[in-house]
Each structure stands twice: as structure tokens, then as C-alpha cells.
Structure 1
Amino acid sequence: MQPSAGARADTDADPESTARSIVLRLLTGAPRSRHQLAEALTRRGIEEAVVERVLDRFTDVGLIDDAEYAQMLVRSQLESRGLARRALAVELQRKGVGADEAEAALSTVSAEDEEQRARDLLRKRWATGARLDPEVRARRAMGMLARKGYPMGLASRLVREMVDDGAQEPWEPTVDDLD
């Protein structure tokens, strides 16, 4: 089997052209951090000096912008997955976004926004467990909020409010309940 024309072009071209092609292809599919692009180029066997030159050039012309990428990632993960600031910070770190860019992006999420998002998630989860024992229902809701990175204090307060609103016996979560 012969290599495709695109693969032949990559192997015949100089390393910078190959690196530029890879970066353009990756950025066409989805936005990415500089770190993610550097890892992809390194996996393809591109030398570190070439990687730095190509990524510097893409940064200079504005095609790579970690600050904008961090803002976009925070907005999308907050809306689509309902992640709290703590989980968003982990996600940004996993994607290789620098501390300054991550902090700036996370500062756009206020404590009030975070609490409102937690309430919305909790209402949806609460509605799906109507037939469950109240303690089981509350424990599952606490677990869901914990997995999404919400602080235990906020999660337990919101769950207690849901239990109280349902005219149930108030439930006090403990650390053992999260297991």
C-alpha cells in the first residue's frame, strides 16, 4: 500500500513545513493550547527547536492564544458540564494552560454564578430520584456535586435546602456518606 499524497508531502517537506501543516490541521479541528500543540508535534518526531519556532510564529500571528483558549474552555465546560471552579482549574492544568491565563479565566466565574449552576444541576438530579429514599437521593446528589468540583460546604447546604423544601426530615451529610 502506498502512502497518501498528504503523507508523502509531509515526509518530503522540511521539518518546519511539516510542523506548520500539523498545527494548522489540529487548529482546524478544535482550539488547542500551546502545550497540547507542542505535545502533538513532539509525538510526531519534530525537533524541539523547530517546535518552538513554529509555535512562536503561530503565537505572534494570533493563531495560538492560551488566554483566549482558557476563557473559551472555562465558558464551554461551565455550560456543558456544569463544572465548578476547582474542576475547571484542574481541566485547564491538564490542557497545559499557564497559571496566569488560568487564573484570569477562572476569575470570570463568580461565587454567585457557581452557586447558581450548582443549584441548577441539583434540581435536575433531584427530579430524577423522586422514587428513591431521601437519604440515598441526598447522598447521590452530594456525590454528583463533589465530582463536578463543588465545595462540600456549598453542596451540603444546597442538598439540605432541597431536603427541607421537600418536607423531608433534614439530612446532615457526613464524609462517610460520600463513599
Structure 2
Amino acid sequence: MARAIALRLLTGAPRTRRQLADALARKDVPDDVAERVLDRFVDVGLIDDAAYAESLVRSKHQSRGLARPALAMELRRKGVSDEDAREALASIDEADEEVAARALIQRRWRDDGDPVVQGRRILAMLGRKGYSSGLAARLVREMVDDRAQSWDPSGPEQD
């Protein structure tokens, strides 16, 4: 039964060992049985927390623009060990984070509002995504300065 539960969960998406252990515990699988099944799955390569961490870091950084602190929290929540998390997070450096933050700012910026208000909103969004306050403030300041020069608070002219 434990084997079938774990295989069914792995069919849908990759999972960490802890995620599977938690699922087996919720199904009232005895701990010793769950451990044996999970050990066997690790041995045959069905569970690989390091590969899971690398995949999650790569995909969440690219698709959602998450920074290293937010990714570290996500990995911790999924049960990835600190060592596996450190190795996976090492693939993202400060330059990668700056590129991702700039892309987020470009995507979220609307030219139809007050640049200062836009800047505050984007600064908060970058903070929620785990970017350092220094980097976020610098990039938002650059965007606000750039956009404030061309902003007309009276709106577009009507004929």
C-alpha cells in the first residue's frame, strides 16, 4: 500500500522525501514501512532531493522571478536539506537576480499612473519575491527617475 501511494504521488510530479513521508503518515502508514519504501525509492533514483531542488530553483527563478531567499524558503518548506538547497541556490548569482528583477519591473510597470506610486508597489512586490531591499530600491529608483521625466499627470490630451 505504501509503495502504491508513493508511486501515485510521484506520477503527478516530482516530490521530496519529506513530502512523501508526510503523505504516507497522513495515510496512516507505519513509520518503519514508510522508511523502507522511501529508502528503496532513493536507492533506485525515484526520489532525488538534490535534483528536485535544482529543478525547482531553475523553474521558479525563471517563471516567477523568485530571488534566492524566497527560493530557500520554498525549498525548506518542501523538506530539502540545507546542503542540497545551498548547492541548488549556488546556480543563481547576483547578476542573475538583477536581470530577473529588471524583467519583473518591466513586466509590471504601467505607464498610465504616477511613477512614484508605481515604484512603491513594485518595491513591495520585489520584497515579497525575496529581493534585497538595496537591489530593489536601486532598480525601482532608476525606473521611477526614467519614467517620471516623461510622465504627464494631466493624462493624455483630449481633442
Question: Scaled by the length of structure 1, what TM-score is found?
Answer: 0.81
1:123 aligns with one of 77, 96, 106:
106
2:40 aligns with one of 57, 77, 83:
57
Question: How far does the alpha carbon of each residue in 1:75-96 deviate from its partner, in whole angstroms, 9 at most, with x for none?
Answer: 1111111100000000000001
Specify the code of the residue in structure 2 equivalent to 1:158.
Answer: L
Given the alignment of the two structures, is residue 36 of structure 1 paired with residue 40 of structure 2, yes or no?
no
Residues in 2 aligned to 1:145 and 1:137: alpha-carbon distance in whole angstroms: 12
Residues in 2 aligned to 1:145 and 1:92: alpha-carbon distance in whole angstroms: 19
Specify the code of the residue in structure 1 equivalent to 2:97.
Answer: E
Question: How far does the alpha carbon of each residue in 1:99-156 deviate from its partner, in whole angstroms, 9 at most, with x for none?
Answer: 0000000000111001100000011111xx2121121111011011111110000000
RMSD (Å) for aligned C-alpha atoms: 1.2
Counterpart in the other structure of 1:108: 91
Contact 1:134 1:168 in 2 (8 A): no
Question: How far does the alpha carbon of each residue in 1:43-92 deviate from its partner, in whole angstroms, 9 at most, with x for none?
Answer: 00000001110000000011100000000111111111110000000000
Given the alignment of the two structures, is residue 86 of structure 1 paired with residue 69 of structure 2, yes or no?
yes
Given the alignment of the two structures, is residue 162 of structure 1 paired with residue 143 of structure 2, yes or no?
yes
Residues in 1 aligned to 2:79 and 2:72: alpha-carbon distance in whole angstroms: 11
Residues in 1 aligned to 2:62 and 2:108: alpha-carbon distance in whole angstroms: 16
In structure 1, list runs of 5 or more residues that go unmatched: 1-17, 170-179
Question: Scaled by the length of structure 2, what TM-score is found?
Answer: 0.91
Higher relative contact order (CA 8 A, sep 6+): 2
2:52 aligns with one of 69, 85, 95:
69
